[in-house]
Amino acid sequence: MLRDLSHVAGLPFLFDTDIYHCVFGPEVRDPLYGVRTDGQIRRVLRDPDAALPKIVYWMMRDTGLRDDPYLKETHGLRYDISYFIPAMFGCEHLKTSGHYHTASPDGPAYPEVYGVLSGKAIYLLQKVNSIDAPLDEVIVEDCIVVEGNPGDKVIMPPDYGHVTINPLPEPMVMANWVSSRFSSQYGAVEQARGFAYYRVEGDGGPLWVRNPRYKSAPPLRLARVREVPELGLSLDEPLYTAGIRAPERLEWLNDPAQYMELIWSGLDITGEIGTCELPEVPRSGA
């Protein structure tokens, strides 16, 4: 079925939910296409031997309307769309590789904002003492889970790595604005085979299972999304449109140190979620 997501994306954008294909209108600038393959994602799974689809998710980077201002050049901001198939990695829910951002000139790492266009996303955020330390020196200082539904704008705060999970048996589509002045860091996640928790499907429903490769893990905090109009983030306006209409409102993506309180006001911490420890998945051939 061809689903028209233009109203929530803010630009002409159709998504075919049967063959997982997207169609942009001719007014849209050609994005840079990228994919995440099974070999790349296997490095961060609870069960690295799980059967995987060849392509796990698609990324369409640096797009926008041809006639709109090109914010990458004028404001150092990039707009991307990504989509995810409904699938499982063994018992683990489909997810992204997970990554950290590097530090902005004034200290805090660059933040990011995701806008869910279709389906449901669960974001797992994680702060560690160092993204450069060897694994036995890594201390996980905080973990937060936040759910995003269509229209939600979900902030990834500075210094928090993030992984996106598709928890539903349907495709998920999301967009983001992010600074174009840094490259994402994947090494710290790969050396630990993921973040401190995995979201797996248990007999009685989803479970958050600890990743034993980290020495310890803090309680898993639950947050819900709040609108932050001062940062250009409201439920009713598409993320793309908000950036184009008032790019100065997105300055926090390049200069987060000035906006820490507002950035954190986008996440309403509501409590903690139960977690568990399970035996490791036996490796094939072991």
Tell the residue number behind the tokens 């669960």, with chain if given: 122
Residue whose CB is less far from Fe ion, 155 or 220: 155
Residue nearest to Fe ion (CB): 112
* CB of 61 vs Fe ion, minimal distance in Å: 12
* Eight-state DSSP code of residue 91: T
* Eight-state DSSP code of residue 205: E
> Which residues, 6 or more positions from 261, have their beta carbon under 8 angstroms from its beta carbon?
none
Q: Is 159 in the site for Fe ion (CB under 5 A)?
A: no
Residue whose CB is less far from Fe ion, 125 or 220: 125
* CB of 114 vs Fe ion, minimal distance in Å: 8
DSSP string computed for 142-196: EEEEEEE-TT-EEEE-TT-EEEEEE-SSS-EEEEEEEESS---B-HHHHHTTSSS
Residue whose CB is less far from Fe ion, 75 or 78: 78
Q: Is 80 in the site for Fe ion (CB under 5 A)?
A: no
> Which span sits near Fe ion by CB under 5 A: 31-39, 112-120, 233-241, 263-271?
112-120
Helices (H), ranges, the chain:
6-9, 38-41, 71-75, 187-191, 239-245, 260-264
* CB of 127 vs Fe ion, minimal distance in Å: 14
Q: Is 112 in the site for Fe ion (CB under 5 A)?
A: yes
Residue whose CB is less far from Fe ion, 65 or 173: 173
- How many other C-beta atoms are found inside a 10 Å radius of the C-beta of residue 205? 6
Residue whose CB is less far from Fe ion, 77 or 207: 77
Contact track, Fe ion, 176-215, x by CB under 5 A: ----------------------------------------
In the chain, % helix, strand, coil (3-state, to 5) comes to 15, 40, 40
* CB of 99 vs Fe ion, minimal distance in Å: 6
> Which span sits near Fe ion by CB under 5 A: 81-89, 105-113, 231-239, 275-283?
105-113
* CB of 158 vs Fe ion, minimal distance in Å: 11
Residue whose CB is less far from Fe ion, 47 or 152: 152
For residue 1, CA distances in Å to 19, 22, 125, 151, 226 come to: 9, 11, 33, 21, 32
For binding to Fe ion (CB under 5 A), which residues are involved?
112
